[in-house]
Amino acid sequence: MPKKGKLLVVDDNQNIVSAVKMLTEDYFERVITLSSPKSLISTIQSESPDVLLLDMNFHAGINTGNEGLFWLNEVGNKFPKLKVLLFTAYADVDLAVRAMKDGAYDFVVKPWNNEKLIETLLNAYNAATTKSKPQKNNAAVTQNAMFWGNSPEMQRIRNIIERVAPTDANILITGENGTGKEVLAREIHSLSSRCNKEMISADMGAIPDTLFESELFGHKKGAFTDAHADRIGKMEAANNSSLFMDEIANMPLHLQAKLLVALQNRTITRLGTNNAIPIDIRLITATNRDILSMSEKGEFRQDLLYRINTIHINIPPLRNRKDDIMPLAEIFLKRLSEKYDKPNVSISTAAEGKMLSYNWDGNIRELQHTMEKAVIMCEDNVINPEHLGLFHSVKPTAESNATLEEIERNAIMEAMNSYDGNITIVAQKLGVTRQTLYNKIKRYGL
């Protein structure tokens, strides 16, 4: 096997440095070692390694991993293309997750398995030297394709997803309405070992309390009025697959307890029976609310949060990803031009400027609906600002020329922001049912 590239190893234990050097010299053209990170930055500048194997602790008696995380961030800021593997004797899942969120390629636990270590290092080298194909925004994009864009935050998320998707770790996705939480969930499922089975979805905010157990656990014929036949629930349907629970933070506390029991026992019992049915699911949850703050206030069970929050991914809003607005718009433009049989539609410079300066409170979902409206309304195959229907932070009043739909949309948006997206409270304040509110949220792309 031909030797490849350069490896830099940083560890204060000379025995470990010598052992790793002997092991890896058969695979790398050059193996550089340091016993301290003090000269790490200058060494990277002079040697240009392809892979860095970095210890997490350099002082006796200190095993917090903070030193490794500090140097990981230093290297990431100065050399973003360098693949960093963290080396630690303390197998801490939380630390591993934090390190990957901060940009680590992988996490190696001491004592290591030789074959596994070599495999991980070579994978990192291949990732560092393989040029990714540029993304073609005009390529055929499926309805549920994940668009990663070019923002540093989304690339960090992509790196985490590629590492954790093949595992069975439970994943919590947070982010504002319309940021693409379900699309990301489907991407995770497609990259997992369970991708040969369909991902099952459940909108937890839309399930009435009285139907919760039937929807999640299933029921036996005759278990309650109108139970005319046996029915399997979402959790049983997701056996050996992934279960996506959207709006998880909107679940009442007493129902959270029932979900927790099922997740802990890895069994469900259909209504009307006493038979426990084993389930093997990969759980992916999502919410637009601050679920961590809710847990601290006692509004969401901490034990359930620990269960669903092995990996936490927060998707940034579109206003923080300005560079992704136009590529996303082009994807929607191509798809919608085909749908409405209006080929060769383009976006004018003036319309592009308005889109880039707009806040996009509804995020990607709002952008998609805006492009659909624009494709339908445009003339001569050119989208101009007036076809977008964007109103910059203008709150409609009774004296304005706003339509009834615009007034309703803004009222819902204000209520959602005022009550942290709590659907139950928002529906009460607006004087509508929860289901009506959900329908309007989807209608207006909020």
| Statement to judge: residues 204 and 324 lie in one domain | no
pTM for the model: 0.60
Residues in the chain: 446
Give me the pLDDT at residue 1, please: 63
Would 266 be classed as within a structural domain? Answer: yes
Q: Is 247 exposed, middle or buried (0-12, 13-18, 19+ CB in 10 A)?
A: buried
Would 146 be classed as within a structural domain? Answer: no
Would 395 be classed as within a structural domain? Answer: no
* Cα distances (angstroms) measured from residue 180 to each of 175, 298, 367: 8, 28, 12
Give me the pLDDT at residue 367, please: 94
Would 399 be classed as within a structural domain? Answer: no
- 441 vs 209: CA distance, rounded Å: 21
Confidence of residue 405 (pLDDT cuts 50, 70, 90): confident
| Statement to judge: residues 248 and 373 lie in one domain | no
Mean pLDDT calculated for residue range 320-335: 92
Would 303 be classed as within a structural domain? Answer: yes
Q: What is the CATH number of the domain that holds 340?
A: 1.10.8.60
Confidence of residue 410 (pLDDT cuts 50, 70, 90): confident
Would 420 be classed as within a structural domain? Answer: yes
Give me the pLDDT at residue 92, please: 52
| Statement to judge: residues 111 and 229 lie in one domain | no
| Statement to judge: residues 74 and 15 lie in one domain | yes
Number of structural domains (the chain) is: 4
Mean pLDDT calculated for residue range 376-386: 91
Query: Average model confidence (pLDDT) for the chain?
Result: 85
Would 335 be classed as within a structural domain? Answer: yes
Write down which residue in 314, 337, 354 finishes a domain.
Answer: 314
Query: What would the pLDDT profile of 160-181 be if each residue is shown by its tens digit?
Result: 999 899 999 999 999 999 999 9
Write down which residue in 286, 314, 342 finishes a domain.
Answer: 314
Q: What is the CATH number of the domain that holds 19?
A: 3.40.50.2300
Give the list of residues 6+ apart from residue 212 with CB closer than 8 angstroms, or none.
255, 258
| Statement to judge: residues 325 and 307 lie in one domain | no
Q: What's the chain look like in SS3?
A: CCCCCEEEEECCCHHHHHHHHHHHCCCCCEEEEECCHHHHHHHHHHHCCCEEEEECCCCCCCCCCHHHHHHHHHHHHHCCCCEEEEEECCCCHHHHHHHHHCCCCEEEECCCCHHHHHHHHHHHHHHHHCCCCCCCCCCCCCCCCCCCCCCHHHHHHHHHHHHHCCCCCCEEEECCCCCCHHHHHHHHHHCCCCCCCCCEEEECCCCCHHHHHHHHHEECCCCCCCCCCCEECHHHHCCCEEEEEECHHHCCHHHHHHHHHHHHHCEEECECCCCEEECCEEEEEEECCCHHHHHHCCCCCHHHHHHHCCEEEECCCHHHCHHHHHHHHHHHHHHHHHHCCCCCCEECHHHHHHHHHCCCCCHHHHHHHHHHHHHHHCECCEECHHHHCCCCCCCCCCCCCCCHHHHHHHHHHHHHHHCCCCHHHHHHHHCCCHHHHHHHHHHHCC
Query: Has residue 57 got a pLDDT over 80?
Result: no
| Statement to judge: residues 170 and 279 lie in one domain | yes
Q: Which structural domain, as residue segments, surrounds residue 96?
A: 6-129
| Statement to judge: residues 24 and 77 lie in one domain | yes
Q: What is the CATH number of the domain that holds 440?
A: 1.10.10.60
| Statement to judge: residues 248 and 365 lie in one domain | no
| Statement to judge: residues 89 and 226 lie in one domain | no
| Statement to judge: residues 238 and 280 lie in one domain | yes
Q: What is the CATH number of the domain that holds 178?
A: 3.40.50.300
| Statement to judge: residues 260 and 336 lie in one domain | no
Q: How many C-beta atoms surround the C-beta of residue 296 within 10 A?
A: 12
Would 149 be classed as within a structural domain? Answer: no
Write down which residue in 129, 144, 174 finishes a domain.
Answer: 129
* Cα distances (angstroms) measured from residue 377 to each of 246, 271, 373: 33, 51, 6
Query: Has residue 296 got a pLDDT over 60?
Result: yes
Query: Has residue 402 got a pLDDT over 80?
Result: no
| Statement to judge: residues 83 and 172 lie in one domain | no
